[in-house]
Homo-oligomer: A and B are copies of this chain.
Amino acid sequence: MTEIDAAIAFILNGHQQFMAHLSLDCAILGYHDQQVKILLIRYNGHQQWGLPGGPIRHEEPISVAANRIAEETTGISGLFLQQFHTFGDSPYRVHHRTVQDLERLIQPDALGIKIKKDNWLLGRQITIGYYALVDYQQVSVRTNLFVEEYRWWDIDQVPELLFDHNDMVTKALQTVRLHLYHQPIGANLLPPKFTLPEIHFLYESLLAKSLDRRNFPKKLFALGLLNKLDERRFIGPHRSPYLYEFNKANYEKALEEGIVLVI
Partner of A128, one of B60, B86, B124, B174: B86
Residues of B within 8 A of A63 (CB): 89
**Identical copies of this chain, number:** 2
Partner of A83, one of B56, B85, B91: B85
- A60 and B22 form a contact (CB under 8 A): no
Indicate whether A91 sits within 8 Å of B124 (C-beta atoms), given known contacts A21-B22, A83-B86.
Answer: no
Interface residues of A in 48-78 (CB under 8 A from B): 56, 58-64
Is A255 an interface residue when CB atoms closer than 8 A count as contact? no
Q: In whole Å, how far is A174's beta carbon from the nearest beta carbon of chain B?
A: 7
Is A262 an interface residue when CB atoms closer than 8 A count as contact? yes
Q: In whole Å, how far is A180's beta carbon from the nearest beta carbon of chain B?
A: 11
A211 and B262 alpha carbons, distance in the complex (Å): 15
Partner of A91, one of B61, B91, B128, B174: B61
- A91 and B258 form a contact (CB under 8 A): no
- A58 and B91 form a contact (CB under 8 A): yes
Q: In whole Å, how far is A91's beta carbon from the nearest beta carbon of chain B?
A: 4
Residues of B within 8 A of A83 (CB): 85-86
